[in-house]
Structure 1
Amino acid sequence: MEFLASALAGAIVELGKCFCGCAYSKIENYTKFRSNLDNLRGEMASLIILRNSVKEIIAEAKRDGHELLNPALVEWLEQVEQLDTEMGSFIVASTTNNNGETLSKYCPSCCFSCKPVLEVTRKLKDVKQLIHQGSLLRQTADAELKLGKQEVPKGQSIPGPSVPSKCLDSVLNLLNREDVNRIGVWGMGGVGKTTLVRTLNNTPSFMQPFSMVIWVTVSKQFDNRRVQIDIAERLKLDTTMEESMESTAHRIFQRLQLEEKLLLILDDVWEAVDLDHLGVPEPGDHPGWKLLLTSRSLDVCRQMKTDEDIKVEVLGDEESWKLFTQNAGKVVNLENIEQVAKQVARECGGLPLLIKIVGASMRGKEMVQLWEDALSEMRRSPVPNINGIHDKVYKPLKWSYDALEGTTIKSCFRFCALYPEDFSIDVKELIQSWLAEGLIDELRNYEESTNRGIALIENLKDSCLLERVDFDAGTVRMHDVVRDLASWISSSSSSEDGCKAFVRSGLGLINFPEVETLDSVKRVSFMHNKTRKLPQFVVHCPEVSTLLLQGNGFLEILPEGFLTAFKSLKVLNLNQSRIKKLPQSLLQLRELRALLLRGCADLKELPPLGGFTKLQVLDCGQASRIKELPQGMEELSNLRALDISFTRALRHIQSGTLSKLSSLEFLDMSCGARERLTRYVELAYLERLTALYIDLDFSRLASGSFEWIERLKRFHFIIGDRSYGREYFYGSGYTEKKVTVLTLCLSGKYFGWLLNNVSALTFDSCEELEKFPESLGSNVCYSALRFLTIAYYNGKFLSSNAGFCQIPNLELLELGCVHHLESISQLASTLGLEFSKLRTIKVRCCEKLKYLFSVGGSTSALENLVSITLIDCEELEELFAYGSSSANPLPHPIVFNLRRVDLQRLPKLEHLSGENESWNCLEELEIFWCEKVRKYNDAKLEACE
């Protein structure tokens, strides 16, 4: 009986366990169901809010006339709409039983299963996934809306090989700077200015800070009304041609006032645009407003009052090849094609537009003969016969030429095409030729003519038709494609002034080319070839005014009959040739205005020149074997410029010769024989002389009268024994009033009178330099002196103080091999130098130099210093000494505007600056072989690129 009771009790317990477990599971499922259902309702509400937000973005885009047609966005909206429609019935079905009764929130049915839980969980997961997708799509839609603020032709949206990344970064940095409101992007036609700006515009992250972006293509056919209508249409303002510009401008002005941050892009600007006339407020008057313009002319950027200008340069070889391969395709990788293809790409001169056209024209061409023909065509013809080049490259490039004002500058531009490809053109030689051809007004004096020539060159550079040469400030070059353009224009019979040219320069030719006629040609260039002898007779050239034969290093003979064909010659250039004498037929060239013989090292004599009454320029510089000036020299009444520099064999100049050159304005006699130093007494009679370069004998200076020096506008006087001088430190220049003192002991010397108007002073291999203040005279201030160079000085600088600031406006200080100098502060104390206007410091091979300046005490901040160069100073430990010995440390950094620092071979240098020093303006830092410089961020190089 007890057994039966026990068994029955066990069964009841097991049955209870089973019932309770089932009930517990039902309760757990229902509780989880209710929780997920509540979460589902909440997430669904968030999804609906996100959907409405996306719809609002789409509606806003439509109001601005922009369609957001992202297929993924459209599909997402459809999924959300479908889910929203289904969600109501799903929730109802999930919360009722089979009899249609609503489940109690607190008393779930015991029949409740886990199926509704799984369905709600699945729906919740779907909703969350849609919210995640929608958030990403919303960001994209918002970015597209920002991009939709501007309508431009679609282009590349990421930097490609046709968009130099450095230029892109520079423009972006300027857009982010609060102090820059107007940005100019300039460069030659086809270089990629529009592509660069389009890349910025088509990249949403770049344009995100702006509430409105307006892009207007101005173009060469500039029309104020059209540009204004383009802006109005962009702002959704209705316009009619009948409405006045003033009325439209007022409405544009009112509408733009609603924009907090505006970017106005003016593309392809050829002349200044009056923003006020269009109704666009000045960017500088509204914080956050920017103007970005592109132009071929730097002068246009200046007229638009840009704060910063960025020049877009042509591509380098690597970038050019990458762009070329993109357009030419895989054919360039064929073994028999690749090398020729690289040469073809190189002939494009790094110009992206030309690279694209030539590359596309060669796409798929697998015959090497076709590539060789293309290469030959590009080398031989100014405008290659390749499909699209004329209309898409040279015709648009010619617009830059057409935009030049006046026939004079156009003729000067075409003259530059007489020089070979990739050639560094000497500016002085160029201006001499222009003057002789009459391209520069002869009524100007020589100084004014030179300045006018420089102005013309700068104008051509600003128009991207000439380029500066980085390593030689006295030269310019012409881009290969621009040169081809100039050659094409010059060879055309429709040339504006009929000044056609026959050009065979830099081709390595041995013989002068045979041609049937040169009747209509006015310029002939056969320079820089390999000819040894010119022909005795050539076809008659009645109109040729310029004959360029310079750089023919093998040319020894100029035949008697050759020049007889050039009766109208005005410019004859034989520079750097090996001719030994000039033919008598030269005397028949009565129209000759410029005879250029510079560097003719084998030329021993000149024929009588008395009959050349129109000769204005005679350059015999570096013709080192000429022993005497030609007969009749004193009869050259119109001679304006004479260069006999570096003619040491010319030991004697006949008395009275120089003084009779009444029109002489420019004279270079530097580096001549010491025996002719006495001739400078005649210079006082040259009343029109304004530029003089000459060696002076210091022993004779005290006895002569030199008041005439005051009328000189440019000069370089070399005092002392030049044979010991180093050309590196005082190379000839034609821009300053300069004095170079060589190998003199300064003790007891007084030449303060000579330095009254001097802007540049060099001491080379002198002695007792510490006596320099005494040689200037007491309490005399030389405010004109801006450049000081000291080279090869073995003396010591004592702790003596000059007691008076004699040179207050120094801008450049250059030191080389000043062997016992310990600091520049020491030099300043000894020589009486003031550095408040100092801009550039260059120091080389000063082995005892420990630092540049001591900070504190009477030391003033170097607020104008922008460049420091230090090379081979083995004891240098720091740039600025911040030691405790400084009585009154400066409360602010010693350098405010330092932009460039070049440090080389400084083995003991450890730190660039002190703890509190900040170089926020630094743009370029070069450090080579400075092993102990551990931390570049000492100077907080925030702006350094």
Structure 2
Amino acid sequence: MDPATGAAIGSSVLELEKRAQNTIIRHVRYFTNFKNNMEEFRDQLELFEAKIDDIQNRVDVCRQNLQEPSNEVEVLLKQCTKFRVNNAGDLDNLKGLNLEGSVKYFSRYKFSKKAKDLEKKMMRLNVFNINLPMELNPPPETVVKFSTKYLEGLKSVENTKTEIIRAIKDANTVVIGLHGMGGIGKTTLMQQINNEFKEDNPHKRFASVIMVTVSDSPNIKKLQNQIGERVGLNFQGIESETDQRASRLLKRLENESILIILDDIWNELDLSTIGIPRGNGENKCCKIILTTRNRDVCQRMEASPIIRMACLNPNESWNLFESYSGTFESNPIREIAKNVCKECAGLPLAISVVASTLRHDKREYMWSNFLSGMVEHNFEELDGIEAKVYVTLKLSYDHLESHNQKLCFLFCSLFPEDYPIQLNDLMYYGLGEGFVTCGARVSSLDRILILIDKLKSRGLLLDVEGRREIYVKMHDVVRDVAIIIARNDEKLDFYSNFKDLTKWPMGGESETIKRISLMENSIRHVVDHNPKFHGKWMKSLLLNNNYSLETIDDDFFEEMGDLHILDMRGTRLKSLPTSFQKLMKLRVLAISNSYYHKARISFCDHLLSKKDLVVLILLDSRITMLTKEFGELVHLKVLDFTNTRIDIIRPNVLSKLKKLEQLRLLRSFNQWNKSDRNGNFVSFYELGSLERLYALEVEVFDEKFAMSSKEEPLNFLSSLKFFKIFLSDSNNHLAPIHYHDTNHKKILVLKSNEASKSISNWIIVLMKKAEEIQLNGYNWSKQFLGDKILENSDNIKFPLKYLFISCCKTSKVLIEFSKNKDCDAVILPEVKNIRLKELDEMENIFIIPIEIRVGSFQSLTIIFIMRCQALRSIFPWNVAVCLVHLEELYVRNCSSLEVIVIGKDNSDYYNKGQVLFPKLKRLYLYDLQNLKSLLWQQESVKRMEMELSSLMTLKVFDCMKLKRLFFGEKSAPELSMFWCNSDEWFDELQWNDEQAASRFKSIVRFDAVEGRASSRPLKTKRLNI
């Protein structure tokens, strides 16, 4: 053998020896690293399954939006489904293996090797390279309920409603027309019909009921957005293309049975431009109801039937009048009141406003004067408004008690029709124009609330459904009257109602104009305009929400030296005109740059000369430093720098603003209590000197602040009426903040990277006042809520509406009460949403071994639980029966969970168990290895069948020990699909009877593979009852 050959053989032998050695070491490690291998495998499998479920959910949403997922995703889902099905037995065995028990050596080798092999296969599927959003939005509500003053017992209205309901039920009817004069109650009637579908839809005709307002100048994009949002459709990528949006909406609606109510149509509307299909009378089509003041509109839109809404008859009118005015003790006043009611001509709007205006007024001469005013005005229809309506509303306006009330009312007409008016905006304008007066003891907010309450009590303003503490709105007829009043009064000179403008209006209006609103238009550039709009008389100029506005001519403000209010929020301004410096009497300045420009505008130098400023709102800008000169703006009551990055705020700047009532610095400044080489930054404790402060929105990035023992300087926080406080130990400047509901008045968010950090008492005080709480990464070693906490709460009800706790070190029980103590409090009556994630020590959410008061948990609609590995059960029996409004329960990856509801031995257990969760619409159970039952029940007790009359979505994945769902043949009548990922698991389910098994067999679907259920023979296990 030659030397070269010998060397090659020797090298090969060494290589073989090395490989053999590595192979032996790898196989030995299957024994020695058994536990680590198993734990790594389980962690990887948990992430893998969660990722696959997330991808499937995104695919479902994608298809709901008429989009198809990519081929890569489709193939990946098929491969993952094949992997899970082919290896189902091994996966279940490895997940259920007891690592703490004694496992034989050969079994250790076998299980460890199998785990590693499966882990490699999972990684080759490459699912983790697909990026998805963090959270999916919940499905839209099928019916959104409206707040309405609909009164039962008005026969003429009930007759009209009966006609409409009959037309809705008629399979051959597609478009229904309802016409009647303004103020007759068309909108109220349609809201009532909408609400009745919310409460009861016996015929199950419609998947959704959608009501939108069209108005006299339809905004097609807005209508498309409103309808699309209600059916889970977004228009991402085609935001500006109305034709493409219409096409997508049409495809989404054409196979759905949906009732669409188009309210307040003024002119013929081509439904196809919106994307609303006109069906042919079949069940699977949209049914449309339109309301209008003009019968011709119904005819031109081919409505049939066309229903006229008549005025109230005299008896109905008087009954309605008395419901608003109260009863009458004096016969003379009663007789006058009847004549006043008669002059209202059977119009509900006129009746309600007049009766509210004169409510409980016992002065006979006031009633007589009001009646005289109604009789003496005798003119024809004015600007499309019935004369009687105009007269009654104008007289109600005249009878307002103060000039401030009148001015506040007229300012509401500057907002677009059917526009939700923020109380804060009205307050800002009131401070600028003087109808909200300043005082040391009464806040500006209280002042505007007093004015608003006066106007609402007279029927001149309305609440906004679900947001009555934040918004108001005007009836469209009331707004029309307000516009006429404002234009006819030479001292006021209001101008609004401009629509679809792309440039400054060129009308022939009064040259003494004082107040003009051009909000919600599409003006791009403000140039030299009609001089009749331009001049020294201007007091208020509202340009907000002109999202295309980029430039204003340099001399635009040259003659507006008396301008008090300038609102330019929601624009794309890149710079301010040079004439801006002429506005020395500005009291309200609101500017934002919604167009993100690399060099954000710095306005700070322009502001220091505006010494009269009371409201300063500067959004989406940049300020290097707030120096001591800024503290000279001593009249400021509102300071809002949201999303305006501020690098430095020096000490004793904010504390000089003694009149400050609102301070907002979210995504703006968070370097409290810090310093640089040039000096200290402002201390958070400095805010305690602002005695009038009632609203605060701030971020504090300080690792020690949440644990601070300096409680006395922070006492001012507990007296705040509104707060959004974000505390973090991270120094990530301007980190994004996600709130569940920005309309919540009190929000507290705490985030830490260390679960060992404790929370100070001053934070606990804030938590008791918060409507939204988010805790992440803190040591929460006590119960979140219990009798010990309630003892020190001064009988204050917890206002909490949203709770999110994740990655915290918690006690074994989240909400716990002592058995030997009575609890008089209603427990969390306002909470709507509870989300718990990665709470490894929590074994129970609730332990309440006492009688729970009626009203506890009455608002809870969503519960989300994920990766709480010690959790054994979710609801004790006495809590479950309180959850009458629960709509969604989502439970995922809780390895110790055995039962959803812990039962109770008593006589009514069977009856109450049947009707648990009557409003539950969505039930998701994912990867619950030890879940054995939805309900705990003794074998000797008669087997119950849960009704779940509202259930529409049911998904059960990887719950292999769950053998019974407590479903009978008539359970969950609304459920059309039942999703799971294993036909073997489904075949092992136990049913009370063959009919129940057959019914659920017909609707089951297995993961992403369609049709597998029907391809196999029916196998069921029947219970021995």
Q: Is residue 2:727 matched to residue 1:719? A: yes
Q: Deviations over 1:52-105 (max 9, x none)?
A: xxxxxxxxxxxxxxxxxxxxxxxxxxxxxxxxxxxxxxxxxxxxxxxxxxxxxx
Q: Deviations over 1:659-682 (max 9, x none)?
A: 111211221122323334543232
Q: In percent, how many aligned pairs have the same letter?
A: 18
Higher gyration radius (CA)? 1
Residues 876 and 930 (structure 1), Cα distance of their counterparts in 2 relative to 1, 3 Å cut: farther
Partner amino acid, structure 1, of 2:523: T
Q: Is residue 2:704 matched to residue 1:699? A: yes
Partner amino acid, structure 2, of 1:706: L
- Per the alignment, residue 409 of structure 1 pairs with 405
- Per the alignment, residue 230 of structure 1 pairs with none
Worse overlay, 870-879 or 436-445: 870-879
- Per the alignment, residue 331 of structure 1 pairs with none
Residues 393 and 777 (structure 1), Cα distance of their counterparts in 2 relative to 1, 3 Å cut: closer
Q: Is residue 2:554 matched to residue 1:546? A: no
Spell out the pairing of 1:212-251 with structure 2 (5 A cutoff).
216-217=314-315
Residues 770 and 808 (structure 1), Cα distance of their counterparts in 2 relative to 1, 3 Å cut: farther
Deviation at 1:217, TM superposition (A): 4.0
- Per the alignment, residue 903 of structure 1 pairs with 922
Residues 935 and 410 (structure 1), Cα distance of their counterparts in 2 relative to 1, 3 Å cut: farther
Q: Which of residues 748, 773, 783 in structure 2 aligns to 1:739?
A: 748
Q: Structure 1 CA distance, aligned partners of 2:385 and 2:575?
A: 50
- Per the alignment, residue 828 of structure 1 pairs with 846
Secondary structure in 1 aligned to 2:408? helix
Q: Which of residues 556, 559, 563 in structure 1 aligns to 2:553?
A: 559
Q: Structure 2 CA distance, aligned partners of 1:691 and 1:698?
A: 24
Residues 436 and 906 (structure 1), Cα distance of their counterparts in 2 relative to 1, 3 Å cut: farther
Q: Structure 2 CA distance, aligned partners of 1:276 and 1:917?
A: 62
Please say if residues 534 and 559 of structure 1, whose CA atoms lie closer than 8 Å, have aligned partners that are also in contact: yes
Q: TM-score w.r.t. structure 2 length?
A: 0.49
Deviation at 1:456, TM superposition (A): 0.7
- Per the alignment, residue 663 of structure 1 pairs with 659
Please say if residues 691 and 712 of structure 1, whose CA atoms lie closer than 8 Å, have aligned partners that are also in contact: yes
Secondary structure in 2 aligned to 1:449? helix
Spell out the pairing of 1:395-406 with structure 2 (5 A cutoff).
395-396=388-389, 399-400=392-393, 402-404=395-397, 405-406=400-401
Spell out the pairing of 1:345-744 with structure 2 (5 A cutoff).
393=386, 395-396=388-389, 399-400=392-393, 402-404=395-397, 405-406=400-401, 407-443=403-439, 447-450=443-446, 452-453=448-449, 456=452, 459-460=455-456, 463=459, 465-466=461-462, 468=464, 474-491=470-487, 493=488, 495=489, 498-503=491-496, 505-509=498-502, 511-515=503-507, 518-536=510-528, 539=531, 540-599=534-593, 601=596, 602-620=600-618, 622-629=619-626, 632-647=629-644, 649-676=645-672, 678-696=682-700, 697=702, 699-700=704-705, 702=708, 704=710, 705-720=713-728, 727-733=737-743, 735-736=745-746, 738-743=747-752
Residues 692 and 770 (structure 1), Cα distance of their counterparts in 2 relative to 1, 3 Å cut: closer
Deviation at 1:216, TM superposition (A): 4.7
Q: Structure 1 CA distance, aligned partners of 2:879 and 2:162?
A: 48
Q: Is residue 2:868 matched to residue 1:868? A: no
Q: Structure 2 CA distance, aligned partners of 1:303 and 1:550?
A: 37
Q: TM-score w.r.t. structure 1 length?
A: 0.53
Please say if residues 424 and 469 of structure 1, whose CA atoms lie closer than 8 Å, have aligned partners that are also in contact: no
Q: Is residue 2:836 matched to residue 1:818? A: yes
Q: Structure 1 CA distance, aligned partners of 2:638 and 2:805?
A: 34
Deviation at 1:503, TM superposition (A): 2.5
Please say if residues 751 and 778 of structure 2, whose CA atoms lie closer than 8 Å, have aligned partners that are also in contact: no
Residues 776 and 500 (structure 1), Cα distance of their counterparts in 2 relative to 1, 3 Å cut: same
Q: Deviations over 1:20-79 (max 9, x none)?
A: xxxxxxxxxxxxxxxxxxxxxxxxxxxxxxxxxxxxxxxxxxxxxxxxxxxxxxxxxxxx
Secondary structure in 2 aligned to 1:694? strand
Spell out the pairing of 1:122-141 with structure 2 (5 A cutoff).
none
Residues 822 and 884 (structure 1), Cα distance of their counterparts in 2 relative to 1, 3 Å cut: farther
Deviation at 1:793, TM superposition (A): 1.9
Residues 593 and 791 (structure 1), Cα distance of their counterparts in 2 relative to 1, 3 Å cut: same
Q: Structure 1 CA distance, aligned partners of 2:838 and 2:537?
A: 64
Q: Which of residues 924, 927, 933 in structure 1 aligns to 2:952?
A: 927
Secondary structure in 1 aligned to 2:589? strand
Secondary structure in 2 aligned to 1:841? coil
Please say if residues 803 and 832 of structure 1, whose CA atoms lie closer than 8 Å, have aligned partners that are also in contact: no
Residues 752 and 153 (structure 1), Cα distance of their counterparts in 2 relative to 1, 3 Å cut: closer
Residues 917 and 851 (structure 1), Cα distance of their counterparts in 2 relative to 1, 3 Å cut: farther
- Per the alignment, residue 295 of structure 2 pairs with none
Q: Structure 2 CA distance, aligned partners of 1:665 and 1:608?
A: 23
Deviation at 1:610, TM superposition (A): 3.9
Please say if residues 422 and 470 of structure 2, whose CA atoms lie closer than 8 Å, have aligned partners that are also in contact: yes
Spell out the pairing of 1:270-349 with structure 2 (5 A cutoff).
271-274=325-328, 297=352
- Per the alignment, residue 198 of structure 1 pairs with none
Deviation at 1:684, TM superposition (A): 2.5
Deviation at 1:551, TM superposition (A): 1.8
Q: Structure 1 CA distance, aligned partners of 2:934 and 2:359?
A: 43
Partner amino acid, structure 2, of 1:870: E
Residues 459 and 792 (structure 1), Cα distance of their counterparts in 2 relative to 1, 3 Å cut: same
Deviation at 1:389, TM superposition (A): 6.7
Deviation at 1:905, TM superposition (A): 5.1
Please say if residues 824 and 853 of structure 1, whose CA atoms lie closer than 8 Å, have aligned partners that are also in contact: no
Deviation at 1:640, TM superposition (A): 0.9
User: Which blocks of at least 5 consecutive residues in structure 2 are unaligned?
Assistant: 1-152, 165-176, 179-185, 200-212, 214-262, 266-289, 293-311, 335-345, 361-378, 674-681, 957-964, 975-1025
Residues 512 and 388 (structure 1), Cα distance of their counterparts in 2 relative to 1, 3 Å cut: closer
Partner amino acid, structure 2, of 1:690: Y
Q: Deviations over 1:723-777 (max 9, x none)?
A: 69875545545733x4221235453513123332541165546236552449999
Deviation at 1:787, TM superposition (A): 0.9
Partner amino acid, structure 2, of 1:498: K
Deviation at 1:436, TM superposition (A): 1.8
- Per the alignment, residue 771 of structure 1 pairs with 781
Partner amino acid, structure 2, of 1:501: F
Q: Structure 1 CA distance, aligned partners of 2:547 and 2:156?
A: 55
Please say if residues 465 and 478 of structure 1, whose CA atoms lie closer than 8 Å, have aligned partners that are also in contact: yes
Please say if residues 765 and 792 of structure 1, whose CA atoms lie closer than 8 Å, have aligned partners that are also in contact: yes
Q: Structure 2 CA distance, aligned partners of 1:848 and 1:303?
A: 60
Please say if residues 899 and 934 of structure 2, whose CA atoms lie closer than 8 Å, have aligned partners that are also in contact: no
Residues 653 and 794 (structure 1), Cα distance of their counterparts in 2 relative to 1, 3 Å cut: closer
Partner amino acid, structure 1, of 2:769: S
Q: Structure 1 CA distance, aligned partners of 2:727 and 2:849?
A: 20
From the two aligned structures, give the one with the greater strand fraction: 2
Please say if residues 806 and 839 of structure 2, whose CA atoms lie closer than 8 Å, have aligned partners that are also in contact: no
- Per the alignment, residue 859 of structure 2 pairs with 840
Partner amino acid, structure 2, of 1:567: G
Residues 861 and 469 (structure 1), Cα distance of their counterparts in 2 relative to 1, 3 Å cut: closer
Q: Structure 2 CA distance, aligned partners of 1:892 and 1:881?
A: 18
Secondary structure in 1 aligned to 2:445? helix
User: Which blocks of at least 5 consecutive residues in structure 1 are unaligned?
Assistant: 1-148, 175-186, 194-213, 220-226, 228-264, 281-291, 306-385
- Per the alignment, residue 769 of structure 2 pairs with 759
Q: Structure 2 CA distance, aligned partners of 1:303 and 1:826?
A: 57
Q: Structure 2 CA distance, aligned partners of 1:444 and 1:552?
A: 36
- Per the alignment, residue 787 of structure 1 pairs with 800
Secondary structure in 2 aligned to 1:485? helix
Secondary structure in 2 aligned to 1:868? coil
Spell out the pairing of 1:34-73 with structure 2 (5 A cutoff).
none
Equivalences, count: 615
